[in-house]
Structure 1
Amino acid sequence: MTLLNGLASTDGRTGGSGEALAIRGGQPLSGRVDVKGAKNLVTKAMVAAILGETPSTLRDVPDISDVSVVRSLLEVHGVRVTPGDEDGSFVFDPADVASAHMEEIDAHAGASRIPILFCGPLLHQLGQAFIPDLGGCRIGDRPIDFHLDALRKFGAVVEKLPSGIRLSAPNGLRGANIHLPYPSVGATEQVLLTAVRSSGITELRNAAIEPEIMDLIAVLQKMGAIISYEPNRVILIEGVDRLSGYDHRAIFDRNEAASWASAALATDGEIFVAGARQQEMLTFLNVVRKVGGDFNIREDGILFRRAGDLRAVTVETDVHPGFMTDWQQPLIVALTQATGTSIVHETVYENRFGFTQALVKMGAEIAVHPHGLQQGPRRVPRRNLEQAAVITGPTPLTGADITVPDLRGGYSHVIAALTATGESTVHNVGIISRGYEKLYDKLAALGADFDVLG
């Protein structure tokens, strides 16, 4: 590995989005990687710190760009952020929380969708909030209507402006009965962060129940919240007058763990993912076994490798406890090396198969059906937005010049390049730093052969 521009020489993170990698593939990835706290929990727990009257400490915080974005947003709102007593921990002191100028929020948020989750806590603390136009990975329509509808039910006044959305709570916030039309993770987080200090009881139906949601509930309970969850996706929150800070170690990032597992299958390597746990990855582990992979569950992590030739499988993405949408992209790289015809039904987000165009360019045989496949048995209910990818393999992959489209698709491009024979140039890899800590260091530790081109 050569770090030609020095951007990753000190901390292993990728640099700007324009950065590129020259990757020479065709060799197995083998070794150990350590995963820290989940991006999808850590950033939300950081926002929750605003609700406390005393400082909060969050541990196992990954060094990724999404964390940097939220830290900046906290700081422009007056929250003091300092390193904790161990590596990867931070202390958040909300004693001086204040309103922030729209320009500051817009500048620090960038393409992140995190600002929408500041609304409930800021309405409680300041009586008002503002969020600019929201960004994020361009993987299809991800409306914030669920968030705004929920905030209105709590009593918030929502005013849409050309520059963003202004919210106020002239009469305070009160508990509400909310039924989500879809178990949205973001909307569930919004309700939790808003309901814990709203007067009265909030009943949330059709809630998301991902492990990261349960970990956020644990964070809020440590702060003094009263939250219970019942069967059939029902969460009850009894509002309290005040919350204190928390001390919490974040749940591991199961998306990153699954990504490295798929890399081991795709390259016929052997990767030990330190910090991964069986319980949160149960559904993924079942698919690993079906596709012909092997895993060894240890107290401190999980070892992934092939058990022989890979076999074709059919996968349907779904909300938890189903197969995560973020897992299908790296898995598809491995499926290009499986014998037979695999089918991946994407039911959570539309337009999430755009990354497969690069795999086809590298030699994969993948057909995307933009309106899904109607025939065949299904366990996950069909949705109007769903698509299907049909992967026929095994097909040898060869090096190509490709461009990263989004976070998970970008990681998949890197792994495809490492699976392929010859040299690939992967552009726009800075996007991957949103969710993968020290990517270059980890790739080098696994024996990857690459240069950073700048």
Structure 2
Amino acid sequence: MQDLLVVHGGTPLQGSVRVRGAKNLISKAMVATVLGNSPSTLHDVPRIRDVEIVRGLLELHGVRVSDGATHGEMIFDPANVERAHVDEINVHAGSSRIPILLTGPLLHRLGHAFIPDLGGCNIGGRPIDFHLAALREFGAQVDKTAGGLDISAPNGLHGIKFALDYPSVGATEQILLTAVLAKGVTELSNAAVEPEIIDLICVLQKMGAIIKVHANRVIEIHGVETLGGYVHRPIPDRIEAASWASAALATGGDVMVEGARQADMMTFLNTFRSIGGMYEVDDSPVGGGIRFWHPGGDLRATVLETDVHPGFMTDWQQPLVVALTQASGMSIVHETVYEKRFGYTAALNQMGANIQVYQECLGGTPCRWGRRGFAHSAVIAGPTKLIAAELVIPDLRAGFSHLIAALAAAGTSTVHGVDLINRGYEDFEAKLAALGARAERG
């Protein structure tokens, strides 16, 4: 089957979809199983490519992974963790950034870890300098090889006092996964506090870790001797929920996102309402979620800046920008997390949008990209009629944005590279069909 989707646009999305566990938590919770001395069970795991990749990495290292009795249940037995062959690990190089997070758990279990050259979406620099600096502080020795990094801990790992220059999610996860079994106390300042980070702390606490979250982004971890397994149901995927919400708004539709949780999406919900979208929260334990719809009339332009939590999430802006092309007036979006996040706007302009990108900081949030030549601010003038086009998906979140644009556009679009969307969106084609979208494989 070809890696393309033919999308017949112009039909409002109507109906219900369900989101499962958050992609940005699931993979980290899977890594955490290596730390335990007994099996772990993870519920509500989505069938996405990233899960398959991490499962493969764990199995290469001797973790026995099996599907549970219920849909979305996975069981992990780490009893036989072992050193994987470099060539086998390299099979995954370029397809995931998860291997670096295996370092701490593998150092605790084996005293050694090999990390291949890392991949991931090309949306800007995601340096591992924070990771390596922290690992060295913990007592790790890092040696560069032709295929990646050879990391060892000849004298074990000990607690550290570490301050991040930027509240990096990945670096915070690295320190959490390493500190829980390190000797002594670790204090991390300027830590990321995203909902997925807090949920990872919940996972580790279930395993027996002692982790205190203080004010002002300070996390204190007391190393323990051993950790056990866990049973955990993760928070729902707030990125996927916002993506379907944006699709409902862009197409003039009405979508119930089952499983979406208000507490994780407060900043998005405020923006969604401010531009004219409507939503309704259903807190029912079964079938609950958030209904998103376009009430008719004109949408309103807005000014927003992406930021670390509790700010407006960087992965929310791409789908929402498609809806903003239909808003009356001039919207401004200032991206402060990734410097190359606006590459997808060229395709939207090809479809009739009026989006200009600028190197200047069009906002007041402190930004790391000023005067460095990155086009990290966008001005969207609207409303503009979108017309069908031939599109090539560049990365996961931009890919879903292109898909939304194709659904909103008049005519038939051909979207290439749609398999990339499977990295983070479970059964997205089946969900599109459930919402009445007219799309088929080319």
Normalising by the smaller structure, the TM-score range is: over 0.9
| Residue in structure 2 matching 1:421, options 391, 405, 410 | 410
After TM superposition, give the deviation of residue 109 of structure 1 in Å. Answer: 4.3
Q: 1:435 aligns with which of 424, 432, 436?
A: 424
Query: Separation in 1 of the partners of 2:147 and 2:90?
Result: 9
Task: Select which of 347, 363, 368 maps to 1:383.
Answer: 368
What is the TM-score of this pair, normalised by structure 2? Answer: 0.97
- For residue 300 of structure 2, give the secondary structure of its aligned residue in structure 1: coil
The Cα offsets for residues 170-209 of structure 1, whole Å up to 9 and x where unpaired, read as 0000000010000000000000000000000000000000
User: Of the candidates 40, 60, 67, which is equivalent to residue 51 of structure 2?
Assistant: 67
Cross-structure match for 1:13: none
Is this contact kept in 1: 2:5–2:439, CA < 8 A? Answer: yes
Helix, strand or coil at the partner of 2:212: strand
Q: What is the match of residue 307 of structure 2?
A: 318
Q: Provide, for residues 207-256 of structure 1, a one-character-per-residue CA deviation record: whole Å limited to 9, x for no partner.
A: 00000000000000000000001000000000001000000001100000
Q: Is the 8 A contact 1:73 1:109 kept in 2?
A: no
Q: Given residue 105 of structure 1, which amino acid in structure 2 is its aligned partner? A: I
Equivalent-residue separation in structure 2 for 1:109 and 1:271 (angstroms) = 37
State whether structure 2 residue 80 is matched by structure 1 residue 91: no
Distance apart, 1:413 and its partner CA: 0.3
Segments of structure 1 that go 5 or more residues without pairing to the other structure are 6-17
**Alignment equivalent of 1:361, drawn from 316, 337, 350:** 350
CA distance in 2, matches of 1:244, 1:399: 53
Question: 1-side partners of 2:80 and 2:93: how far apart?
Answer: 20
Q: Counterpart of 1:326 in structure 2: which amino acid?
A: D
Percentage identity across aligned positions? Answer: 63
The alignment yields a C-alpha RMSD, in angstroms, of 0.9
Q: Displacement, 1:372? A: 3.1
Amino acid at match of 2:139: G
Q: How has the CA–CA distance of structure 1 residues 110 and 381 changed in structure 2, closer, same or farther, with 3 Å as cutoff?
A: closer
1:110 is displaced (CA, Å) by 4.0
TM-score (norm 1): 0.94
Q: Give the secondary structure class of the aligned counterpart of 1:69.
A: helix
Unpaired runs of 5+ residues, structure 2, are none
Question: Could you tell me how far apart the structure 2 residues matched to 1:63 and 1:223 are?
Answer: 25
| Residues 328-351 of structure 1: per-residue CA shift (max 9 Å, x gap) | 000000000000000000000011
Q: Distance in 2 between matches of 1:33 and 1:227?
A: 35
Counterpart code for 2:294 = R
Matched residue SS, 1:23: strand
1:76 to 60, 72, 79: 60
* 1:74-223 superposed matches below 5 A: 74-223=58-207
User: Which residue does 2:325 correspond to in 1?
Assistant: 336
Q: Is the 8 A contact 2:339 2:369 kept in 1?
A: no
1:303 aligns with 2:287: no
How far apart, CA to CA, are the structure 2 residues paired with 1:395 and 1:147? 44
Look up the SS of the partner of 2:327 in the other structure: coil
The answer to whether structure 1 residue 446 and structure 2 residue 430 are counterparts is no
Ranked by relative contact order (alpha carbons within 8 Å, sequence separation 6 or more), the top structure is: 1
Q: What is the total number of aligned residue pairs between the two structures?
A: 433
